Amino acid sequence: MTDNAILVLTTGGTIDKNYFDALSEYQIADSGIPALLEEGRVALPFRVVELMRKDSLELTDADRAAIAAAAAVAPETRIVVTHGTDTMAQTARVLAASVPGKTIVLTGALTPARFAETDARFNLGMAFAAAQTAAPGAWIAMSGEIFDGCNVRKDRDAGRFVAA
Amino acid sequence: MTDNAILVLTTGGTIDKNYFDALSEYQIADSGIPALLEEGRVALPFRVVELMRKDSLELTDADRAAIAAAAAVAPETRIVVTHGTDTMAQTARVLAASVPGKTIVLTGALTPARFAETDARFNLGMAFAAAQTAAPGAWIAMSGEIFDGCNVRKDRDAGRFVAA
Amino acid sequence: MTDNAILVLTTGGTIDKNYFDALSEYQIADSGIPALLEEGRVALPFRVVELMRKDSLELTDADRAAIAAAAAVAPETRIVVTHGTDTMAQTARVLAASVPGKTIVLTGALTPARFAETDARFNLGMAFAAAQTAAPGAWIAMSGEIFDGCNVRKDRDAGRFVAA
Amino acid sequence: MTDNAILVLTTGGTIDKNYFDALSEYQIADSGIPALLEEGRVALPFRVVELMRKDSLELTDADRAAIAAAAAVAPETRIVVTHGTDTMAQTARVLAASVPGKTIVLTGALTPARFAETDARFNLGMAFAAAQTAAPGAWIAMSGEIFDGCNVRKDRDAGRFVAA
């Protein structure tokens, strides 16, 4: 569609959780997003920047401001943000309010990308495409749907995203 | 974005190739696309219709006309077509010419979906999103990019799709 | 080799850990061992019995006695026990002391079976074979080796099992 | 059990078949066995030697003689041979007759190792263990069982190995 690169900002979340035997627990690891894009045979130029490694329940206002700042200052106008699902809608609203003129698509996964069965690849593909075709604004790509970032919430019981 | 279902038409291609030990060879198997959509945790309503199981090098004009007819007669206005990569661009041109007023996104994979490492899930996610966000017309979702279906070709040597 | 069935006793451990998004944490889930045996195309008769779902750091003397009792009372003379890796050697010693006349092979995994990259399948194959070919006694199948169950320990720093 | 390395001779077969999009077909690729052993977290010393890349239906008497010669001349006394399943029993008989004093375990897979769902890892684990615990002679590790290499055949219709 255009020849701009796509910027991918990673912030952590379930999509990047790994299991550490020595600790007997899961922790967010170095991002697996670059490997997923390679597996997806992505030839369109892109840049991956790891901003933080946080479960989204632990994100603070300062964290969201940092994500918005990174999106605003970048030369790219098409941005994908990988993020934990629990507070993704909140970050989407912050981005919609503070980063005009760019198409920003947030996504993540309900199951870590390192699992054999995971929604991670499908979701990342959705976000990468929506970043190229959706109008400027903040969007969420989850549960097979592209949502208006200001009109969506996570229904935890149902394990899916729905219009707010 | 809307509450229309998305129609997925499967035609075969590498994405659905399986290995059959008894035959010592590959063959296109019953489509794995429904399983991929389930793995992708897709909650948006969709319908999958298997039109044929062909390597795209074997598709005839009659086959392409059948794909176009199925797309035209369906009530859905947002359609994903899974297809072999070798002649995907040719089918895209036929669809652009004969199915107005609908957003049709063709995709497939360079490696079968049944492999551990495959672009299948990422590509299907791209197509599912583009079907929701792109303007009416025929598009191709491959190599990480959403291409105008009338301005794209497969570069076989490079193993990727490029603007024609 | 013989026509006895093989008994598989599952006790939990990393091999069966799953990630639960709703809880933002891992937990030992219903055992994935039957699915692994099916994927391994196992045609030899076997029986899987889920004894408990515990991280092996939480196993008590009563738990180990229960595992030994189950092994002793079963009609099978060839037994595989899936188990957390942290205290596997301790359970092996209990079994060696209290269940004579049977070939019992303990195994597990350093990475959960549900991951795309995991030692789970290889280890389970090792244990299934050793149950058929090793002499009566307790054995551990980990790190590519069949160890005498009374002469092995987990080297946590190295992430592997070694002769004690 | 001992401190000898294990020798792994690869000859091809379904276990090592890969799909080549440019050719629209499957072919035996450079062996994936080393990667499987790494994924299995094998710490016991081993050596992998690629003898040939053949579908076992294409193996000749000269090929089988070469496999036997490699097994005989190697310093290792515990050997795993990865091989196509169709004529694995035939090669096992040749090895039993011409390589005394060594424990040789043949294995392979009904589905390529590169698939997401495959018996490859489980089978390789079985063979690696049997090479350490079985008596000298030729064995086949398939379908969850360790077979006497001189008393086994592949039941193609059933898709499994059985006593001859």
Q: Is A35 on the interface with C (CB under 8 A)?
A: no
Low-confidence stretches of chain A (pLDDT < 70) are 1-3, 22-24
Q: Does D115 sit within 8 Å of B116, measured CB to CB?
A: yes
Does a structural domain hold residue B1?
A: no
- In the beta sheet, which residues pair with residue D152? D163
What are the structure tokens assigned to C26, written together? 């891992």
| D117 residue type, one letter | E
Query: What secondary structure letter does DSSP report for B135?
Result: P
Q: Is B111 on the interface with D (CB under 8 A)?
A: yes
Does a structural domain hold residue A1?
A: no
Going C132 to C134 to C136 to C142, the CA torsion angle's sign is negative
Per DSSP, the three-state class of D86 is coil
Per residue in B112-131, pLDDT tens? 999 999 999 999 999 999 99
Q: Does A21 sit within 8 Å of C14, measured CB to CB?
A: yes
Q: State residue B23's pLDDT score.
A: 66
Q: Does A44 sit within 8 Å of B144, measured CB to CB?
A: yes
Q: State residue D19's pLDDT score.
A: 79
| Pure H helices in chain B | 33-39, 61-73, 88-98, 120-133
Residues 6+ apart with CB under 8 A from C63: C11, C52, C54
Q: Are strands C46-54 and C137-142 parallel, antiparallel or unpaired?
A: unpaired
Name the residue facing D19 among B24, B26, B57 (closest C-beta): B26
Q: State residue A24's pLDDT score.
A: 67
Chain D residues touching C159 at Cβ < 8 A: 41
Report field, pTM of the whole predicted structure over 0.90: yes
User: Which of C130 and C30 is assigned the larger pLDDT?
Assistant: C130
**pLDDT surpassing 60 at residue B1:** no
| Pure H helices in chain C | 33-39, 61-73, 88-98, 120-133
Residue keyed to tokens 């079968």: B112
The ipTM estimated for the assembled molecules is 0.95
Does a structural domain hold residue C1?
A: no
What are the structure tokens assigned to A23, written together? 């600790």
Q: State residue D23's pLDDT score.
A: 67
Indicate which CATH number applies to the domain containing B70.
3.40.50.1170
Q: State residue C2's pLDDT score.
A: 45
Name the residue facing A26 among C26, C57, C85 (closest C-beta): C26
Determine the residue of chain B that is closest to D110 in CA distance.
Answer: B21
Which of D24, D111, D157 should one mutate to test binding to chain B, selecting the residue with the greatest count of B CBs within 10 A? D24
Q: Is C148 on the interface with A (CB under 8 A)?
A: no
Distance (Å, whole) CA C120 – CA C112: 7
Q: Does C129 sit within 8 Å of D129, measured CB to CB?
A: yes
Determine the residue of chain D that is closest to C1 in CA distance.
Answer: D147
Q: Does B116 sit within 8 Å of D19, measured CB to CB?
A: no
Does a structural domain hold residue D57?
A: yes
Q: Is B141 on the interface with A (CB under 8 A)?
A: yes
Chain A residues touching C13 at Cβ < 8 A: none
Does a structural domain hold residue D28?
A: yes
Q: Does B159 sit within 8 Å of A123, measured CB to CB?
A: no
Sheet holding B6-12, edge to edge: B46-54, B6-12, B78-82, B103-107, B137-142, B145-148
Q: Is C20 on the interface with A (CB under 8 A)?
A: no
D41 CA to centre of own chain: 19
Q: Is A129 on the interface with B (CB under 8 A)?
A: yes
Per DSSP, the three-state class of A19 is strand
Q: Is B23 on the interface with D (CB under 8 A)?
A: no
Q: How many residue pairs bridge chain A and chain B with CB atoms within 8 Å of each other?
A: 138
Q: State residue A25's pLDDT score.
A: 72
Q: Does C145 sit within 8 Å of D43, measured CB to CB?
A: yes
Q: State residue B29's pLDDT score.
A: 76
Per the structure, the complete domain to which residue A100 belongs is given by: 6-163
The count of structural domains within chain B is 1
Chains that touch C (3 or more CB pairs under 8 A): A, D
Does a structural domain hold residue D1?
A: no
Q: How many residue pairs bridge chain B and chain D with CB atoms within 8 Å of each other?
A: 50
Name the residue facing D25 among B21, B26, B156 (closest C-beta): B26
Determine the residue of chain A that is closest to C115 in CA distance.
Answer: A115
Q: State residue A2's pLDDT score.
A: 45
Per residue in D74-132, pLDDT tens? 999 999 999 999 999 999 999 999 999 999 999 999 999 999 999 999 999 999 999 99
Does a structural domain hold residue D158?
A: yes
In chain D, pLDDT over 70 holds for what percent of residues?
96
**Residues 43-72 of chain A whose Cβ lies under 8 A from any Cβ of chain B:** 43-44, 46
Distance (Å, whole) CA A159 – CA D50: 48
Q: State residue C23's pLDDT score.
A: 66
